[in-house]
Amino acid sequence: MAPRSLSFVLLLVSYAVASNSSATVSASASAFSSSTPVTSSTSSTSSASTSTSGVSASVSTTSSMTSYLATETEPPVFPATDPLYPPPVSADPVIVPDFAPAWAAAYTKATSMISNFTIAQKVNITTGVGWANGLCVGNTPPVGNFPGLCLQDSPLGVRDTDLVTSFPAGITTASTWNRALMRARGLAIGQENRMKGVNVALGPMMNMGRIAQGGRNWEGFGADPFLSGETAYETILGLQAGGVQATAKHYINNEQEWKRTQESSNVDDRTEHEIYAQPFMRAVMAGVSSVMCSYNLINDTYACNNNKTLTDMMKREFGFQGFIQSDWSATMNILSAVAGLDMTMPGDITFDSGTSYFGQNLTDLVMNGTVSMQRLDDMATRIIGAWYYLHQDEDYPNATEVNAQSDHYLIVREIGAAGTVLLKNEGALPLDKPKSIVLVGSDAAPPVSGPNEYTDQGGDPSGILAMGWGSGTDNFTYLISPYEAIQARARVDQTSVFWNFDDWDLASAGNSVIGMETAIVFVNSDSGEGYITVDGNAGDRQNLSAWHQGDQLILAVAAQNNNTIVVTNSVGPLIIEPWVEHPNVTAIVWANLGGNEAGNAIADILYGAWNPSGKLPYTIAKSPTDYPAQLVTGGTAADILSINYTEGLFIDYRWFDAQNITPRYEFGFGLSYTTFEYSNLAIMAINPADSAQMDLVQNWEDGGATPIAQGSTTALWLHMPAYKVTFNVKNTGTLYGGEIPQLYIHHPLSAGEPPSVLKGFTNVEVSPGQTTSVSITLSRYDLSIWDVVRQGWAKPEGTITFSVGASSRDFRLSGTIPS
Ligand code: BGC
């Protein structure tokens, strides 16, 4: 069928960076228009410089083009250093913010404040007052003029309160591959936290989707460190622009729920740096205020007791200046302060025990010299400093009884649509005034007993799945199901709508779709945090199949209707082999977890109000055993499980590529209702502007590793754009749409890297027949590998090539990094 004109929900994201006001986001849905291109600050399609000065070199490409290498001058470090006023969002960020001056100013104030505090007062700053003993899940007491802090979940909204927005989950946000949307969501969540009087938001969550079953994967940003890092980066810039302190969690290697407090994640140094630490490194570059150490052990030492990860990596190498708090009861003993922990949360050793590893114990250790006064001052300075750094000393609200929602539903709806991935479409979508539609499956329906049927969403969903379960949730103020959204939309087309929400009566499901023009089957798969078990799933998923016999439901419908569209709401990958190639399955819509506008976003995709642009943030395999790592289970109550990260750098698509395993749908894949053509690849070097850094740049160019120094991994020169890749993207279809061009690096074989690693992406929106010029920049960091012997980042010897394309396996152009 020929799709009709598409219309878009326009989101105009505007950042007010006037000196006296906090950054604001305003979102507005335009009237649906069929031909107006989306114009907003979300797109950045700056043209390639045509300067031809400099050395010329050839770039091999798969398209016919004139290749050239030119040079241009490095852009400046963003001068504004205040977290309330971050650099404006850009589809390809070229500006590296420097928050050091803001930290320095905050430290000066903090040092002055604590100068007259007693040891006990300083200790109080570092010690929570006990589980939920205050407005938040974590609270610190007032000390002198410092009012104390309220620390609250969750990564997708404000937990344990009402009149807040339920934003799309982290995994949905990552699936947009759209930095402006990531930033807008962060900002809106930050604003809601501030309105509710929260000082420290306990998110984002940035553990990697190492294992497909991982219970909390949906809170995070997928299975690639670069995509996770960029999503974390934008989210944090947004959250803190909204006024709340952000928390990068869970540091580090907390990739499964089973025995999360009794498992040692055993990870080699290079893998740790290149995969698992990358999002946390980006969090530090975004100026994050707080980091939460995790429950697990790393190489046999508990995360909150781990001097290597806390002090050497986070504070020395990344140059982190905020404070490290423990996960709830993850502090293991009184010496954790020596290892680098700055705050124990929620303060008591076990909930409501009235005891603490800090408190009087820490005071005693300082008194007897085991913990130095300097270290205690450092802890208190970091905590008070972070509070000043976010200007929370200036009129910070402590209200909780407020409606914090504003018009954030518009952002929820747009991210819900932009984070939906179209996996298959045999002409079934977008819907074109169908005569009849049948909605099949409970996932299409509103939950039977309201949107918050279980505490922390911890139960078998009876309706649409719009978030997982656990502390990473909030209470729905309302929840739009597909049933409501599609009915409302069907009224416009005067379509007959039928439904059958019973997942278990397959005969009835099959019968209900006979003779209907379109059958839409909704299936889901849930998971969450390990303190709640749902239907035998103790946090992690027991398998990768759709819940409620979803596979059979789809097959029962497809057996009776040759236009069966499948919509999934899943926390992560599913094995879809039983039905993916069924000739009657004409479309697959991978809708992730949409938050409180989930149904509207799905309807926007089905009807083409949003032309799909989302891309998978993980690989969908043909078999569970195709994935490089599996859940580790078992162990007695006393055992510490060993989880060996033996796949090393080869997680997700890196493994499939290296092992030549064909996935069902690869990382980065996603269809549109239009088509795109790539052409005219070029790459140019960017001259460093800051001559003071030239020695370091030259050392790196000569193959030297970055020095072992304070902040060595986040050094600005290492992250400034060093190369600019440009190319054209043409919309060769008939509908307006967005594309996500991706850039993958191929290191020389001797580097021991996976065949392809994502190092850049951007988003463009193009009208039919139009061509847009696109650029993606690469830093020296992007080209480096972690040298274990020299303990620094270095450029591997040999030729580095790259590809640009529409997924990790759909390369359209290729080139060589000039040496
Ligand atoms: C979770 C954290 C959460 C904390 C406070 C812990 O169990 O792992 O993510 O922030 O509880 O609720």
The CA 161 to ligand 1 mean position distance, Å, reads: 16
| Residue 327 designated active-site | yes
Report the DSSP beta bridge partners of residue 746: 801
Catalytic residue among 98, 224, 327, 503: 327
Q: Work out the burial of residue 695: count CB atoms within 10 Å of its CB; fewer than 13 is exposed, 13-18 middle, 19 or more buried.
A: exposed
Q: What distances in angstroms separate CA 692 from CA 239, 343, 686, 689, one per listed residue?
A: 33, 37, 16, 9
The CA 473 to ligand 1 mean position distance, Å, reads: 11
Going by C-beta distance under 8 Å and a sequence separation of 6 or more, which residues neighbour residue 457?
467, 468, 469, 470, 473, 528
Residues touching ligand 1 (Cβ under 6 Å) are 137, 153, 202, 249, 327-328, 471
As a whole number of angstroms, the distance between CA 617 and CA 147 comes to 41
Report the DSSP beta bridge partners of residue 566: 521, 588
Report the DSSP beta bridge partners of residue 143: 146
The CA 398 to ligand 1 mean position distance, Å, reads: 22
As a whole number of angstroms, the distance between CA 170 and CA 274 comes to 21
The per-residue pLDDT for 21 is 30
The per-residue pLDDT for 691 is 66
Show the tokens assigned to 18: 């006037």
pLDDT tens per residue, range 330-385: 999 999 999 999 999 999 999 889 899 999 999 999 999 999 999 999 999 999 99
For residue 138, the ligand 1 atom closest to its alpha carbon is 5
The per-residue pLDDT for 121 is 98
Query: Which of 327, 344, 531, 540 has most ligand 1 atoms within 8 Å of its beta carbon, as the pocket-test mutant?
Result: 327
The per-residue pLDDT for 27 is 32
Query: Which of 471, 473, 540 has most ligand 1 atoms within 8 Å of its beta carbon, as the pocket-test mutant?
Result: 471
pLDDT tens per residue, range 8-21: 322 222 222 222 23
As a whole number of angstroms, the distance between CA 751 and CA 800 comes to 10
Other CB atoms within a 10 A radius of the CB of residue 221 amount to: 32
For residue 154, the ligand 1 atom closest to its alpha carbon is 10
In this structure, the residue with its CA closest to atom 9 of ligand 1 is 471
The per-residue pLDDT for 819 is 81
In this structure, the residue with its CA closest to atom 8 of ligand 1 is 327
Query: Which of 156, 328, 473 has most ligand 1 atoms within 8 Å of its beta carbon, as the pocket-test mutant?
Result: 328
Residues of the chain with pLDDT under 50: 1-69
The per-residue pLDDT for 688 is 78
The per-residue pLDDT for 94 is 86
Q: Are 211 and 75 in contact (CB under 8 A)?
A: no
In this structure, the residue with its CA closest to atom 3 of ligand 1 is 471
> Exposed e or buried b for every residue in 375-405, given b needs 16+ CB within 10 A?
bbbbbbbbbbbbbbbbbbbeebeeebeeebb
Q: Are 151 and 136 in contact (CB under 8 A)?
A: yes
The CA 294 to ligand 1 mean position distance, Å, reads: 9
The per-residue pLDDT for 80 is 62
Show the tokens assigned to 91: 């589809």
Single out the residue of 268, 157, 258, 275 nearest to residue 210, CA to CA: 275
In this structure, the residue with its CA closest to atom 2 of ligand 1 is 327
As a whole number of angstroms, the distance between CA 38 and CA 41 comes to 10
The CA 555 to ligand 1 mean position distance, Å, reads: 39
As a whole number of angstroms, the distance between CA 601 and CA 167 comes to 12
The CA 283 to ligand 1 mean position distance, Å, reads: 18
The per-residue pLDDT for 654 is 98
Query: Which of 139, 154, 202 has most ligand 1 atoms within 8 Å of its beta carbon, as the pocket-test mutant?
Result: 202
In this structure, the residue with its CA closest to atom 5 of ligand 1 is 328
In this structure, the residue with its CA closest to atom 12 of ligand 1 is 471
Going by C-beta distance under 8 Å and a sequence separation of 6 or more, which residues neighbour residue 452?
475, 476
The per-residue pLDDT for 70 is 52
- Entry field: residues in the chain: 819
Half-sphere exposure of 178 (CA within 13 A, CB side): 31
